[in-house]
Structure 1
Amino acid sequence: MNNISYRILLPIGVSMFASCSSTPDYDAQGTFEATEVIVSSEGNGKILYLDIDQGDSVVAGRTVGQVDTVQLFLQRQELSRQYAALDASRPDLAAQIASLKEQIAGTLTDRDRVARLLKDGAATQQQLDNLNTKLASLQGQLDAQRSTVNNSRSSIDEQMNALVVKSQAVDDQIARCVIASPISGVVLDKLAEAGEVTSFGKPLFKVADMHNIYLRAYFTSDQLSALRLGQKVTVVADYGAGNEKSYEGTVSYIATQSEFTPKTIQTKDSRANLVYAVKIAVKNDGLLKIGLTGNVYVGNNGN
């Protein structure tokens, strides 16, 4: 009985020892990730529509939703009304000084006439002096009136310019109520629905750039000397059930600090408990998905 038990246990023990001591043929392992962007509301109000669903493809800059802008539109109308009222109140310099200019012209005519009469002895110097005094007074009034009108116009211009800035700010707010994705990609999560009231900074949906995907792999410290930024490596995606596909990858990031080995990752050296994260950019052919496992071959062993 003891002999049978020994023969049965021996192969199992050998098999377990071989499994624990085996070294993976790849240089590093990791999972595929993508650049994810959370698109948040830039306006306040009710969401009129949000035409996206989880899994939809979106194009950068294309409108997918709209936040209500009625209140902003009313503000814009009020600012336009105030602007028009100020513009209508601008004093007309020509009209304001027309009377004084007429008086000055008449006084100049009188002064010239009296000056001629004075030469002939038909007028007195006092009459001429009085007209010169009157002319100086009228000229002073004209200058003062010009200054008053110009100051008034400058003040109105400043108020109108301030309204222009306010209008531009409202126009900017209205434009920001249009909901669009900043990148082309796939919607991972829809975080709001039409009819809900949103506010500035509230997340609406999450989108990932699936065209340019990357593998976050983990290398031990003794492997880093074989890596450099821009280096070409082979990435083998594991689709499960024995289905694999090789891709060319480019090292785009190498961590400068180590971290504990993730539990789901198997390293070249099974005893290593500290690893360095390395991002490897891969051109997605449409098959790669976030969360897929991939193996890295620094040489061409993956082919």
Structure 2
Amino acid sequence: MKRLLTFLIIISHAAACNNGHDEADAYGQFEADETLVSAEVNGKLLRFKAEEGTILEANQQAGLIDTTQLYLKRGQLQASREALQARMPNVASQIKVYDDQLEAAQRDLKRAQNLLADKAATQKQVDDLQSQVAVLKSRKNASLTNLNDQNRSLVSEMNSLEFQLRQVEDQLEKSRIVNPTKGTVLSNYVEVGELVQMGKPLYRIAKLEQLTLRAYVSEDQLVNIKIGQEVTVRVDKPNDAFQN
């Protein structure tokens, strides 16, 4: 955004001077690049350094908005995350129980099948062991499905908590009022202790080291103006003039 500074200038170009008069050929104003800094979160303004006339550096902290509630919310979310992590089932350890039982049942079945071949065991014994192996496989698969469903549900809750934590961290970061660009504070709009809301203007800052002069000439004067032509600029203060 351009800021119009409040001093009037007069431009007299060389052609006018050669004509023997010193009247103004154009009038204009100096402009500066200006930035309006606004609050990004809601809360009480605890610290504020952007006094009018103060020179602030880029990325310098210019103030702080109360973060108490955000810190409390972050602590609550972190506690909820830890509780969820504790509820996460250890799929590998729980399934290992079924794997051990299944391995033992399969050994017994193989032994019974060998004994049956030697007529040292009955078909019923083999059938019973086969049924036992089938039941254990079914239980293992059902348990694995149940544990995976639990995990998916808990992971979904965990992801939701992580997003909420990121939002809080972002708000905590935005509670620090960071000056975006080096410049001079032109005006401020708040005082320490005030409640501010997101989007509320806090202060206005501009780079005054280099100004842009914008002047307006009439249509008739355009034929006498060339790029690179030297002009005399006068401000509305006596005896103040410079050429460029």
Look up the SS of the partner of 1:55 in the other structure.
coil
How far does the alpha carbon of each residue in 1:112-147 deviate from its partner, in whole angstroms, 9 at most, with x for none?
Answer: 110110111111233222212221221111011111
Look up the SS of the partner of 1:194 in the other structure.
coil
Deviation (angstroms), 1:26: 5.8
User: Is the CA contact (8 Å cut-off) linking 1:35 and 1:208 kept in structure 2?
Assistant: yes
TM-score (norm 1): 0.68
Look up the SS of the partner of 1:182 in the other structure.
coil
Which residue of structure 2 aligns with residue 130 of structure 1? 128
1:199-210 to structure 2, matched below 5 A, reads 199-210=197-208
Alpha-carbon distance in structure 1 between the residues aligned to 2:182 and 2:63: 15
The percentage of aligned residue pairs carrying the same residue is 34
Which residue of structure 2 aligns with residue 186 of structure 1? 184
Q: Cα distance 1:234–1:168, how it changes in 2: closer, same or farther (>3 A)?
A: farther
Higher mean displacement: 148-157 or 237-246: 237-246
Which residue of structure 2 aligns with residue 118 of structure 1? 116
User: Is the CA contact (8 Å cut-off) linking 1:32 and 1:213 kept in structure 2?
Assistant: yes
Deviation (angstroms), 1:29: 2.3
Greater RCO (Cα-Cα under 8 Å, separation 6 or more)? 2
1:84 aligned onto 2:82: yes
Which residue of structure 1 aligns with residue 106 of structure 2? 108
Q: Cα distance 1:117–1:86, how it changes in 2: closer, same or farther (>3 A)?
A: same
Deviation (angstroms), 1:80: 0.2
How far does the alpha carbon of each residue in 1:55-107 deviate from its partner, in whole angstroms, 9 at most, with x for none?
Answer: 11111111011001000011100110000000000011133224322321221
Which residue of structure 2 aligns with residue 48 of structure 1? 46
Alpha-carbon distance in structure 2 between the residues aligned to 1:222 and 1:131: 110
1:141-152 to structure 2, matched below 5 A, reads 141-152=139-150
Deviation (angstroms), 1:225: 7.1
Which residue of structure 2 aligns with residue 162 of structure 1? 160
Which residue of structure 1 aligns with residue 61 of structure 2? 63
Q: Which amino acid aligns with 2:186?
A: L
Look up the SS of the partner of 1:212 in the other structure.
coil
Q: Cα distance 1:169–1:223, how it changes in 2: closer, same or farther (>3 A)?
A: farther
Which residue of structure 2 aligns with residue 243 of structure 1? 240
Q: Which amino acid aligns with 1:168?
A: R
Alpha-carbon distance in structure 1 between the residues aligned to 2:163 and 2:214: 47
1:212 aligned onto 2:173: no
Q: Cα distance 1:242–1:132, how it changes in 2: closer, same or farther (>3 A)?
A: same
Alpha-carbon distance in structure 1 between the residues aligned to 2:119 and 2:160: 63
Structure 2 unaligned blocks of 5 or more = 1-19
User: Is the CA contact (8 Å cut-off) linking 1:189 and 1:207 kept in structure 2?
Assistant: yes
Q: Cα distance 1:226–1:184, how it changes in 2: closer, same or farther (>3 A)?
A: farther
Q: Which amino acid aligns with 2:120?
A: A
Alpha-carbon distance in structure 2 between the residues aligned to 1:232 and 1:79: 64
Which residue of structure 2 aligns with residue 278 of structure 1? none
Alpha-carbon distance in structure 2 between the residues aligned to 1:208 and 1:194: 22
The structure carrying a bigger helix percent of its residues is 2
How far does the alpha carbon of each residue in 1:231-260 deviate from its partner, in whole angstroms, 9 at most, with x for none?
Answer: 54546242611221234xxxxxxxxxxxxx
Give the length in aligned residue pairs.
224
TM-score (norm 2): 0.84
Structure 1 residue aligned with 2:195, among 177, 180, 197? 197
Q: Which amino acid aligns with 1:238?
A: V
Q: Cα distance 1:227–1:63, how it changes in 2: closer, same or farther (>3 A)?
A: farther
Structure 1 unaligned blocks of 5 or more = 1-21, 248-303
